[in-house]
Structure 1
Amino acid sequence: MRTIVLLILAFSWALQSEGTEKDDPSPIIFIYDASGSMWGQLQGKSKMEIAVEVLSSSVNALPDAQKIGLVAYGHRNKSDCKDVEFLVDVSEGTKSAISSSLRSIKPLGMTPLAYSAALVIDKLRTSKMKATIILVTDGIESCDGDICQVVADAKKEGIDFRMHIIGFGLKANETEQLRCAAGAGEGQYYDAADAGGLGAVLNEATSETVDKPKGNVSVYAVKNGVPIDALVTAYDQVAKREPISVRTYRDTAFFYLPPSKYNLEAKPLEGSDVNMITVSGVQSFDEKIIHQDLGFDGGKVRLTTTNNGANWDCMIKVIDQAGKVAASFRTYDKPKEAEVNPGTYKVTIQALRIEGLSTYSEIDSVEISAAGVTPLAYEFDSGTAFIDAKVNGTSVDAVVTVTDSKSGKNVAGGRTYDRGKEFLLNPGIYSVKIVPLGEFKDRSPQTITVEVKKGEAISKTLNF
């Protein structure tokens, strides 16, 4: 049997009785799951201990004037699906009373999720209150109830509430009904894996109350088809309001943006290889909901580098607009792909083994789209020059220096080692200087001019 901690946090009284101010906050009603699985362990503590600590902390952080109440179920009878008790009434509830009651509860029985929610909603029905309902559960319904149907029916009836649901250590295949209920209750489903996560989502859930306008913008963040947790901040480009943020918790998140045009900045909260993305010009309206998908999917750049038409080995760097190298790789004589975050990049290409003044190139303003492949190709040209030094018909060791004739820049060099030296050069005219070594080092150097043509080989032998 799983345990469910139900928290119903309502932050605004919509009291309709005479003499009550319209701005008074709604009461907070906690529905606490005290079923047997709360004895389960997480990080060396029982889930009961974690829930009591986190809920007590959340209660203590509320404004002093906030009205609060407490409901518990599963704490008196082991097999009773109707074991639900209203422990602290909102008309007289205090922070200390809530904390004291939480610590006195001992987990025991079933998890009547739907029945407990139905009883609390019935209180809203008879009292004409509006409330925010936050359900924190470490398991699923154990009494054959359908909380999604309960919530949907109540909404159709016109009962004014908002329901958020927190899955406390739930598996992905256990959340469908809870997500359904949160959606029907015009709220948000959250995941919490531990005490820190539970506290964080409670803080957010308690801030998204029924008194706030209904969400008119929804956002959903994914990377490679998998939803991720992201913080989305909206910046008003017209009225310049203070930024408004929402966290996705690996699900669709709703927030209210007053009608205007916004830029959205989405920062992933998981996956350090993912950078922030920006979506510009998102228009919000009061009369309809706008949805924005936020794709953190990597885009690929595919490099094909050739020399005289044949695949060639090159070093590649993909550099973002801030000057940071997003990817660096070697082609190894074949087309090669690299995945980076979507954006605009500069791609640098350095040919290997070729020497000359045209062995490096840059391609600016390369747009790489999410989940797409951007093909790039670059062609280098070269020819070969074979240089040999001989004495009396026999090759000797010599130093060879190759200089571009027009610029005077030294582009290559090496030794012949008694067998000659071949240079792979960009097409052009070069000045080649040969200086004998060893026993022939007293021979005078010689300088010749050679022209290297694309795809052609030239051979020069100098006799000393």
Structure 2
Amino acid sequence: MKIFKSILVSALLLFLLSACSNDSAKESNETEDKSTPGNEQTVKKERKEKAVNGNIKVEPLPTTYQELAELPIGKYYNMDTSGENSKEEILKVFSDLPDISGNPSEKELDYFYSELLKRMQQDYEGPENLINRLKFESLGSPENSDSRYQFKDNLNVIFIIDASGSMAQKIDGKEKMTSAKDSILNFVSKLPKDAKVGIRVYGHKGTGSDSDKALSCSSSELVYPISNFNEGEFQTALNKFSPSGWTPIGLALREAKNDLASFDGANNTNIVYLVSDGIDTCDDQPIEAAKDLYSSNISPIINVIGFDVDSEGQNQLKQIAAATEGIYNTVTNESELQKELDQLNNLADQWQEWLERGKQHYEGELISNDLEIFNYITEEYVKCEDESSNIYLILGTLNDAKFFNREAYEYLTKVNREYHEWIDNEISKFNEELKELNEQNYNEAINQLQEKYNVNTQ
């Protein structure tokens, strides 16, 4: 009875507060087409039979930052919730969430929030990816116990490039494939003369049609064999392919193992960069192929770049990087891609310095942890803030559209606030740990982070 009175009072207050604006808009609203997709009345009508099942299972929220980072990225994680047409888009996208328009239980509300969160889940980066970044930036350190990250007589870099049809899409008026080619050409032109580079392309034959799937999914070619950079030959190799068909990532990774077969890890520092703008579309087990390449005697460092990739593609590419203890990074344009490759240029220069010193004890300065840690913490804070505010705006829009009562709205916003306060606190704690470790050298910091991560994930 108390709940009913509370709802009645809340409804009356909302009615009085909104009466003026409703009256002024009444005439135009009455003439509106009620069947228009995204229309509030249509949406609510469609939701009447979508009541929450009493046997629902609410998935618990993460309790560690590792668990948080392992959650799949939501389909609408980068949705603009404050734009000009955001209200209509929110109603359209989230109209199929569980119906809690009656008097839902806390369990039903928790389920609703869980389903909303799945769609807005940000691409949080767990400490293991930071560890891999620090390990990569410590490449060549004589104190590095992992031979994979030690300088060898030879440095080889092979790019595995996505040439599927989606790479024809444009960013800032320039085709993604053209941006990728220009960035890689700029990178290799700066490589030390003794370093070797190769390019393998995949999905460059056929089209994206079903009739061409078999052809396209079997297409992967080493267009520039692993060798020293020759500008004319390299440019010719880049001109050999253009965006075309499907996305056989697994095939390309397996073929890359053959490309590097004569460059064993004992005498070669091998670095593989996989560049893709989407998910594998050929069902050729890319994660298993990556693991096989990583565990071979080639001992490569495998880094993955998602180029203007959607949430589904990010989820798979992150799994490939995680399976090989490599770095995953998302770039949205040519400038960001070039910035990522510039880090590799710095390491190549350090390798050349080591080589020219006759392989004596390497005393070169490693890149400071400071900026890497600062960037990591800042980006995680931004993700937390974006996710929290976006969900809050979505809940506000759904509340205005009477998807649920005031009590439900207050409960959901409270859960959202407390959840993101927890994330914020976890980031703060990790930031303090990193500051302490930053007083030590790279390898001590990496070892302590690795030990903590292993404990947390056992």
TM range (shorter): 0.3 to 0.5
**Greater RCO, 1 or 2 (C-alpha within 8 Å, sep 6+):** 2
Q: Normalised by the size of structure 1, how large is the TM-score?
A: 0.43
Larger fraction in strand: 1
